[in-house]
Structure 1
């Protein structure tokens, strides 16, 4: 499956405050917009290769609970646990082809679901989102897929100024994710993306398996059973000094050489 990493979703009650924190750390960040049909609004931080972080808040809980979008349903559920990373997405230029491949690999695609918002300059952004029916028994969570209304070259030209940061040339390089069954998660992700065996190791968090997907490293860990979670918990930013470490609204961001 040919996909590129697109964005990491960080659930927070106040995206504008996280945006300000990032600006103080030398990042370029912007207000995004509102999604009236979902009851949410966001702020954004872009990096090389069109990767970005979305800080998203639920402004209208009733709309969010009834809108029917699986991502928003996940955010509503994650609110019970609190702020922090929730989901991540991979970009495609042919979402129907991805849906067909999912079916061939034994998955049940859900969607696509349309999305849109209006930028400050009046341009309406559009996209489609594709999800996977959950067959994990709650042991891990699948990512979702997104196709933008504009081609990558158009978006690259428009977003280039936002990918330049006072802190330096920075890229989102790695995401760490908890699972409740590491071997099952490895099997699920390998089947999803047709991946080879992962690199395995152990660090201060525990045993992990690392997979290369869409231009980033995806590191899967087994969660502590006393604090079960299937959420991402760590984001590495390559090019940000390795001694830098920022924890904000339940999400941890660290600098990395790679």
Structure 2
């Protein structure tokens, strides 16, 4: 069962500054609105392939929410990513039947600056190596704007890959196999980088699970991420161009352009 990458979450301390900086990086940024009851607000960077970045900031402490805790303890950067389910209630029930510890879907929503109210359901595991589901109740086009907002001066076209830092590669592979209802992915050692990885397809993009296994710059970076931020998204590869983006302007998020989209 295939699920596409829906969006990647980047927690920031100052949303207005993050909006300005992402625009300096060449992204078109759309204000998203406020999440009632959570004290957070967001802005979106929406891509031609329908995926997007969510820049999120919190107006007050929210210690029961992992995104806020990571931001508070470890600073801004990548905190999570979401898959788009086919039917969230059915997909979660199926994953639970396969032994995955996803919790039941919960209602959520956002009030846009124009007054439009959006409603969705999310479902997630208490563990952060796997993504969460985000399924729309109101039309997805209300949550994910279309049109000119998806065109960017830097030519970004979409999210090609998400690299996820994990502590135990085999364990996380088994969890993703239960989530996607697919055979476990093969593992690969990259001795020159000091890491072991596994690649999984996700719609037109992919997910790469990575864990340190030796000496190397990549191993050191992933180990530091695990120590500081825990398991979860380590980096994002964007389609449409090539090269790295300034991490100072990306508010801690490790973002790279990886060239053309997969066919």
Task: Indicate the TM-score class for this superposition, using the shorter chain for normalisation.
Answer: 0.7 to 0.9
Per the alignment, in what secondary structure is the counterpart of residue 200 of structure 1? strand
How far apart are 1:217 and its partner, in Å?
A: 1.2
The Cα RMSD (Å) is 2.3
Equivalence map 1:61-76=2 (5 Å): 61=61, 64-65=62-63, 73-76=65-68
CA distance in 1, matches of 2:58, 2:145: 27
Per the alignment, in what secondary structure is the counterpart of residue 178 of structure 2? helix
CA distance in 2, matches of 1:199, 1:16: 41
CA 1:183–1:157: 2 relative to 1, 3 Å: closer
Runs of 4+ residues over 4 Å off in structure 1 = 154-158, 223-227
8 Å contact 1:235–1:253 — kept in the other structure? yes
Matched, 1:206 2:195: yes
Q: Which deviates more from structure 2 when the two are superposed, residues 218-227 or residues 32-41?
A: 218-227
CA distance in 1, matches of 2:38, 2:235: 26
CA 1:55–1:93: 2 relative to 1, 3 Å: same
Per the alignment, in what secondary structure is the counterpart of residue 246 of structure 1? coil
Name the counterpart of 2:73.
80
Equivalence map 1:44-63=2 (5 Å): 44-61=44-61
8 Å contact 2:36–2:109 — kept in the other structure? no
8 Å contact 2:164–2:234 — kept in the other structure? yes
Per the alignment, in what secondary structure is the counterpart of residue 75 of structure 1? helix
Count of aligned residue pairs for this structure pair: 243
How far apart are 1:156 and its partner, in Å?
A: 9.3
Matched, 1:101 2:94: yes
Equivalence map 1:125-204=2 (5 Å): 125-134=118-127, 141-152=129-140, 154-155=141-142, 158-168=145-155, 170-196=157-183, 197-198=185-186, 200-202=188-190, 204=193
How far apart are 1:45 and its partner, in Å?
A: 0.3
Instruction: Give 5+ residue unaligned stretches, structure 1.
Output: 67-72, 135-139
How far apart are 1:155 and its partner, in Å?
A: 4.8
